[in-house]
Amino acid sequence: MTPSRKKIAAVLVAIGAVVYGASPIDIIPELFTGPLGLADDLAVWVGAAFGIYKLLKGRGNEQGDVAPPKV
């Protein structure tokens, strides 16, 4: 995946997490379970943050990356 596509994917993941957090439709609704209902929102935000980190950090030596010098 090219760096520009990684950035676009990270932005889309972030938008999806924010939309899910703001959505009144949840897996565990806050209306019935109170603070426990925020657990699914927190799980989505943590998962999105981890996914964005993995997307943007990368593993190196991908298209456009320069290989380290050989000694």
7-25: pLDDT as tens digits: 999 999 999 999 988 887 8
The pLDDT of residue 45: 94
Please check whether residue 65 lies inside any domain of the structure: no
| Contact (Cβ atoms closer than 8 angstroms) between residue 26 and residue 43 | no
Please check whether residue 28 lies inside any domain of the structure: yes
With a CB cutoff of 8 Å and minimum separation 6, the contacts of 13 are: 48, 51, 52, 55
Which tens digit of pLDDT belongs to each residue from 21-54?
888 787 777 778 888 878 888 999 999 999 999 9
The pLDDT of residue 60: 54
Confidence of residue 3 (pLDDT cuts 50, 70, 90): confident
Number of domains the chain contains: 1
Please check whether residue 8 lies inside any domain of the structure: yes
Look up residue 23 and give its amino acid: S
- Show the tokens assigned to 66: 């320069």
This model's pTM is above 0.85: no
- Full residue range of the structural domain in which residue 15 is found: 3-57
- Of the candidates 15, 40, 13, 42, which has an alpha carbon nearest to the alpha carbon of residue 27? 40
